[in-house]
Each structure stands twice: as structure tokens, then as C-alpha cells.
Structure 1
Amino acid sequence: MPKITVLKKTNLQEDSCHSMLISLFRGLAALVVAWAHLRAASFPAFGDVANPTLLFQAMAFSSGFAYLAVMVFFVLSGWLVGGSYLNRMDTDRALQNYAVDRVSRLWVVLVPTFLVALLVGALTGTIDPGRVSFSASDPYSLTAFIGNMFGLQNILVESFGENFPLWSLANETWYYVAFPLLVVVFRSRSLASRAAALLALAAIVQLVTPAIVLYFAIWLLGAGFSRVKIEAGPLLRWALVLITVVTAVLIRLKGKNEISVETFPQFLGFSLLFALFLSSMQFKRPQSTMLDRVDRTGRFFADFSFTMYVLHVPLIFVMVHLTSSLFGIDRLSPEIVSHYLIYLGMFVVLVFAGYFFHLPFEANTSRVRQWLKGQLFARVGTVRT
């Protein structure tokens, strides 16, 4: 029988099996999302093809897991962000450090990506570089730029640069804000602090969409299960893997491929199984050359997974524009084998571009954090003195 232990602290040790898997799934989820969006932009919709080939059927099937990949992101974000905050919430300046960490994580990548989106819009003729718009309904406006920096896309403004995957960053942003408020509600000894936190949470609920509120439960699953260690034998762990994979396939084949209140139960079930599996892998990673390679590979892709996620759509816009203007190919044909090779080449370009673009930005997030904390906290100390 499995042994379930509630941990006093979230285990964030890098030599644990679950840490290796977290890195691997972070990288894989970003690749899955990019694979799906590239197929949707370059090939016709599956329903528009009368007699799809087996190769196109396989491609259509493999590219239908993007929303499940986002659920993986939500669980892992709750595990890492929520778990690390729980570990540090009683330390000095815990909330201030948390705020700087979250803002820097988002803005270090979003600001340069939004600038790329503006260049792409100018290159493709989508926008007029000489005109500045302030309309909230214009995805290239200054209002949309600022709104997306604060997670207001699909709430008050459009996703900047028509970068539709940014919807999930609105979720993430408000989960980052809501989680410490929720901690105050349950842990603060001050009645006034609890009341203020409750009022802030109520304001967030009124502002955001019902789906954002509902899917917070999946993010909280990650935070909660980061404190749960399940000691089980390999048979149970493999059973969890099998059940999770089967559930993902069933959702792909029978479920609805959209994020809504209606589809929440299917994604909650998948996320619960995934969180259970991660909790069952909380043990030290055995010494193995193969596992070391898996760990290095996972960490490599995880390091630029965020950049890959937010940058791939503007890059897809560029590649689709170039294939159309230079080669006269508006859509790749599912009947032509060489077009699959073109698609693979485009995907490789996405991955390499994501990696090289992350080097000056996402790769330096920790340095930006240290500089910001040094500047902000030094000024606070000076004022107090």
C-alpha cells in the first residue's frame, strides 16, 4: 500500500526524480503548444480535408494536445511558484521578494517579445509603423501593450500582437496575485488583514473571467500536491503513468478541445492524475547515465520554455508570410510529402529561434531579479534609516 506524507516544506531539490520530470515536462509542453499552433497556421484544418492521409491524421492527432500542455503548465506553476512561496512565506520580505520574482519572470521575456511582435506587424503589413493607437480593441495599441503587461488580455484588452496563447498568461498573472492573498486569508492572525485579503480576492473575481477563477483550482492542485509525498512501488507509479496517458488520449479523442467552464471537469481530472504522479516521484534520482542525459535534456528545453511559449506565434506569422510572399504557398498540402519536410524545417526554426532569443533575456532573469532587489530594498533601507 502506498504511504502518503504531508511535507513541512515543498521539495525543490534538483537531484529528485520529480524535479527531473518537472524540467522535462516544462520543455515538452512548450514544444507541444508550438507544434500545434504551427500545424494550424500552415496546414488546412483537419475537417476541411476530404480524404486525409495517414500521415496527416497522425499529425492532426499529435497536434491536438495543446490545451492539455497548458494544464501541465498550470500544475507545474502551482508546484514551483506556489510551493516556493510556501517555503519562504515566513522569511524576511517574503512578499516583496515574491512580487519582484513574479514581475521579473514575466516582464523580462514579455517586453522584448512585444517589441518583436511590433516588428513582425510592420514587416507583414499588419500595422502602420507611423501610427500610434490607444484603442483597447486594437491588438497592436499602446493600451494593449500595457494591459498585457498586467495580465489584462482577453479581460479588458486584446492579446498583444494577436499572440493568442497569451490568454494563459492572464490566468498565471492573476494566480500569482491571488495565491499570497489566499495564504493571508488562511494564516494571518490579523482580522483586518484577512478582511482586506478577502476584499482583494472578491475584486479579482469580479474583474477576471469565470474560466480564470475556475481554472485556479488546477494551479492550486500543483501548489497543494507539492507538499504531498506518495511512497509507492514501481507498479503503482507505472499505473499512474498509464492512466494519465489514457486520460489524455480520451480527452483528445472524445473531449472538447477548448478552455471553458464546460470543459473544466475533463482538465481537472487530467491535472489531478498528473499531480498524483509527480507526488509519487518524490525520491532521489538514481545514478544513471541515461537519467543524467534525460535530466540535462529536460533542463535545456525548460530553460527557454517560457520564451518558446510567448515567441512562437509572432515567428509563425513571419514564416507563413515569407512562404506566401516568396514561394506562393499560402497553405501546405497534406497530400505532398515534401510539405511535411517544410513543416519540420519551420518547427526546427521555431526551436532554435526560441533558444537564441532566450539567451539575452530569459537566461538573465536571475540577474535582473538580483539587481531589482538590490535597488528596491536598498532604497527602502535608506528611507527607514
Structure 2
Amino acid sequence: MPSHDSADSDHSTSGAYVHAGQEFDRDMNYIPDRIVREGTDAEGRPAWPVEAGRYRLIVARACPWANRAIIVRRLLGLEDAISIGYCGPTHDKRSWTFDLDPGGVDPVLGIERIQEAYLKRYPDYPRGITVPAMVEVSSGQVVTNDFPWITHDFAAEWTEHHREGAPDLWPADVRDEMETVMKRIFTEVNNGVYRCGFAGSQETYEAAYDRLWTAMDWLEERLATRRFLMGDSITEADVRLFTTLARFDAVYHGHFKCNRQKLTEMPVLWAYARDLFQTPGFGETIDFDQIKKHYYIVQTDINPTKIVPKGPDPEAWLTPHGRESLGGRPFGDGTPPDPEV
């Protein structure tokens, strides 16, 4: 069972809000449906069947939670089995929209905003309209937006459709420890930056800031002697950490006031992040322009002017990282994904 990222705080369509005097609290209630090989999920509840071509993964390159799904789909080679639709980097309070597509309409689902897929299944859907989301193509209905399970099930349930040489992102010999590592990464880092950015008081901000940097120092130490979080090869734990690190200097350092240091000033984490960025399946999923537009334009509680910063220079991500000296094989017994056309 994956670390469910169950913690506090909200990543609804409108991003989040600053509530004066309050700590940021993430709503982790998602559509609990799963897509599995058998007829029920691990808890015995009815589930949707794995079937190539039946579902479309809806994402936004700007969103770190959706970025996980983009990377895992690439690493496992699920492109032919699960189509993908990209929302634009900005949205209103209603929903992410398909403004990157001709006419602003997803070419497969025929809709302008992902909200339509949610309302088709739940006409009175009360929660945030989030990405990533899996949508059944034939009915146009959302299946699930439970993002920790989406990537877990890509690895565990879609194995029949994995490419030859797909890496094992959930290796059995480290799975228990990996669950613990991923839980800390989510609560203290992935969600920790949001807890800083949307703190409603000086006291809650400083407490969130201290928690974040305690975890960042722990990661700097952990990764000093091992190439990846769980050892010699990439696992889902690395995917989950990478999407936050990729956004750190461009967004979280300034916009979310996580400013003790830049990522580029942490020698181990910066080298580790570049190592992943330069690994097939990771860097090509990152669009810094879309990332910056999302945070600086949508989150007007924090940035009311909607001015988007020009920097930092993304070319820094392509500089040598030197992590090869730690050995290891990024894909374990597997192989890199084919280059994107």
C-alpha cells in the first residue's frame, strides 16, 4: 500500500488560500476509486479494470502532484496504454482548462475544462477539481483523482502494459523503509513548502519553515552517501521528491518564503536534483515557464500583482552533477525510456 500522503492541506483548483491566523490545511479527500487488474481493490471495494485505451490521464505540467504521474507514466512506458491530456498552467476558481489545445478543447474528451468530467459523474461534486485525474474516455466521467494511488497503480496494476525494461519503482526489499521516507517527504517537504507559503500568521509560518528545513537537512545528509533515496536505483520516492526540488528556486524559495537557502546552495541536494533532471523521464517533463505562470498568476493571495519573475536560468540544470562517483544504476535491471519524439 502506498504512502497515501495523508496529511494536512488543500490543492484544489484555485491553488489554496491564506487564512489569517491559521495553519495551512490540505484537504486529502479524493475520489477513492482505483484501476486494478482484479475486480476489487485491496480493501475489497469494487474497482475499475485495467484496460489499454480506456482511460485518459489529465495533468498539468505546472502541478507537482500531476508531474509525478507524467514521470511515472514515462518511466514505465505506458504511453500506448494510457493517453494523456495537458491542461494549461493557469485556471480560475472553477477548474483547470485545456487552453493549450486548439480551440481550448481536449481533442479526445471534447471538453474545455476538467470540471466537466467531474460533474458528469458527480453533478454536485463538492470538492476541489484537481489534477492528476483519470477519466474514462467512453463515458467522459472522472474515475479517480487520488494521486498517490494513481502512480502506485501504474507501477503495480498496469504491469502487463509496461515497456520492456521498465524499472521497478516499488522494490520489495526496501518497500517498508520507502513508505516511511515518502511519508516524511510528503508531510515535511512536498506539503511543507505549501505550509510555509500559505501560513496565516508569523507563528505558523516560522513553525512550518523550521519543519521544512529540518527535513531538507536530513535529505542533504541522507543523499551524501547514496545516489538515490533508497540506494543505487530510482524509486517512486525519488519521483516524489524531484517534483518539489524542480520548483524550489523558481517558486518556493521566494514565492513561498522558503528562503533559508536556494537549492543551488545545498551541494548534495542540488547535485541529486540535477542527476535526476538529466535522467530520461524526468527533465523533459519540466516546463519552468508553465510552473512559474501557475504559481505567480493563480495564487493572488500571495502575489496580487501577478508579475512572473524572469529567473532563474534553467540552463543551470544541465551542468555536470558528479553523482556518478557514488555508483549505482538509475534504472536498476531496467533501461531508460525511449527519447520523446
TM range (shorter): under 0.3
Give the number of the structure whose alpha-carbon radius of gyration is greater. 1
Higher relative contact order (CA 8 A, sep 6+): 1
Larger proportion of strand: 2
TM-score w.r.t. the length of structure 1 is 0.24
Give the structure with the higher percent helix.
Answer: 1
